[in-house]
Structure 1
Amino acid sequence: MDGIADYEFERPLGESNYGTNYLARTPARLGIDADHVVVKVIAGPTSDDAFRRATRELKHFSVADSDRLVEVYDAGRHGGAFYYAMEFLPMGSLESPASPLDSGRAVAAVRDAALAAHALHERGIAHRDIKPANILIADDGGRLADLGLSQLLAPGMVMTGLGRIGLEYTDPAIMTGAQASRASDIWSLGACLHFALTRRGVYGDSLPAEPLLLVRAILATKPMIADDLPGPARDLISDCLDPDVTRRPRTADEVAERATAIASTMST
């Protein structure tokens, strides 16, 4: 695909939930001080379900009203596809940074993801897919991206499909039918903090790639926290991953506060 509407694509950036991301030149009509934007395209036979998911994602971006979420500039339909444009962060993600991150910057990115998650939670929305690939690096910390799997925190709503969700960073209770909640996103933030400090997941490096086998392996394995982490970081990760949701931090804002204290002790 060379472009959509008045967006000229330069290169694909990979797939995300329910769409493909492209790096595009910024049309002058947007009036923003940026040479490039990211355009997410939901194409193929554009179904009502795909359109519903995309509009839900945009609605959740807007109602959360957080500067720690990726900024959305524009949206529309063109030639049977739905698209929206958002800010481009050239420093990459926590999973694949454009250049090596020191521990302080990595923790700051998770802190900001927690702030964004808290803003969503306060509007009754669970992200459901907080993972290193969805925590983007910014000059002042990080941004939380990709709300394609977000859903309202309503009684009885459970995950009906795993899709492209980052299973290593998902509360295991979700895989057995639990409702997405503040607590499940907090579990994900703890797993992301562990990755930020160790570059390793909490289940080790030998997990199977096939989704069903991966789920089985995760459900049969207790998360492992690295022994060499600083005490406050280890304590926060342990609290976030506690199987008893009542013992986890009550809010993602609390996670952010504790992460701020951890980042302040590290070089930046």
Structure 2
Amino acid sequence: MQGIADYEFVRPLGESNYGTNYLSKAPSRLGVPAAEVVVKVIAGPTSDDAFRRATRELKHFSVADSDRLVAVYDAGRHGGAFYYAMEFLPLGSLEKPNVEIDTSARVAAVRDAALAAHALHERGIAHRDIKPANILLAEDGGRLADLGLSQLLSPGMVTTGLGQIGLEFTDPAIMLGAQASRASDIWSLGASLHFAISGKGVYGELRGTEPLLLVRSILGSQPTLADDLPPAARELIEACLSTDVGARPRTAAEVAERASALGI
């Protein structure tokens, strides 16, 4: 199978957020104990400025004060394509687990993603792409992966690319042109928590794949929560999804604390 730079791909792991993830053999130069890593290859050419912005954020990601973030090992360009390498977690994601997990473990994974998001926010970084596919499962909870770099690498493509980055987990304000922020990530955590508990998105079953049509559909509707949510979970999710940013939890750490207290 093909590779990039000195990474030898083993198999593709799926597409997400302007790129494709590959399971790859870990080059010895990385000095990591794992034999395999995940390499994300971003589609399309990357300018020098975009490359510098993306690598700067990845450096902040890699040194943020949280063990709930997936480890990032390397980043570079090869043949004009931007790529980065990160930790491989074989248990899968909240969206597609490779093991049986109960609701308690799902909520714990979102809790840990919230702790990871808080660490990024404290360094001035919005994740931009929090969703169940980017909340990876670990033996002791969850890890937040795949920093959403699309807005840095492809400025102006926020709306047209949304079909690839999980519309139902994106704050509608982003679709209207707002900048990603702590508050927008908290919206995404609320939608992800709803999925963790109910197995459903907050907009029901979305049909079709054409991004602009999906955006119009979502902007023309309101989130609808599952009827059987526990009261405390409903209260937390509703707060995260509030159109009044001031009514949302002030920090992702608060989301994590309240998720821990749900007792699910």
- When the two structures are superposed, what TM-score results if normalisation uses the length of structure 1? 0.87
CA contact (8 A) 1:159 1:179 kept: no
Change (3 A) 1:26 1:234: same
Compare 54-63 and 4-13 and name the one that shifted more.
Answer: 54-63
Q: CA deviation at 1:245?
A: 1.1
CA contact (8 A) 1:43 1:80 kept: no
Partners of 2:227 and 2:200 in 1: CA distance? 13
Alignment partner, residue 25 of structure 1: 25
Q: Identify unmatched segments of 5+ residues in structure 1.
A: 153-157
CA contact (8 A) 1:194 1:237 kept: yes
Change (3 A) 1:117 1:55: same
Compare 103-112 and 91-100 and name the one that shifted more.
Answer: 91-100
- Pairwise mapping of residues 210-221 of structure 1 onto structure 2 (< 5 A)? 210-221=210-221
What is the aligned length? 259
Q: CA deviation at 1:57?
A: 4.0
Q: CA deviation at 1:21?
A: 1.5
Alignment partner, residue 36 of structure 2: 36
CA contact (8 A) 1:54 1:148 kept: no
Q: Identify unmatched segments of 5+ residues in structure 2.
A: none
What secondary structure does 1:41 align onto?
A: strand
Q: CA deviation at 1:50?
A: 5.3
Equivalent position amino acid for 1:161 in 2: V
Q: CA deviation at 1:235?
A: 1.1
Alignment partner, residue 175 of structure 2: 175
Change (3 A) 1:30 1:79: same
CA contact (8 A) 1:73 1:86 kept: yes
Compare 84-93 and 47-56 and name the one that shifted more.
Answer: 47-56
Partners of 1:248 and 1:22 in 2: CA distance? 36
Partners of 2:150 and 2:60 in 1: CA distance? 8
Alignment partner, residue 67 of structure 2: 67
> Does structure 1 residue 136 correspond to structure 2 residue 133?
no
CA contact (8 A) 2:89 2:136 kept: yes
Identity %: 76
What secondary structure does 1:255 align onto?
A: helix
Alignment partner, residue 230 of structure 1: 230
Equivalent position amino acid for 1:96 in 2: K
Q: CA deviation at 1:147?
A: 1.3
Q: Deviations over 1:35-80 (max 9, x none)?
A: 2111122465454365345424423313533211110122334444
- When the two structures are superposed, what TM-score results if normalisation uses the length of structure 2? 0.89
* 4+ aligned runs moved over 4 Å, structure 1: 43-46
Partners of 2:7 and 2:178 in 1: CA distance? 40
Partners of 1:86 and 1:129 in 2: CA distance? 16
Q: Deviations over 1:173-225 (max 9, x none)?
A: 22122332211111110000000111110011144321111111111111111
CA-atom RMSD, angstroms? 2.3
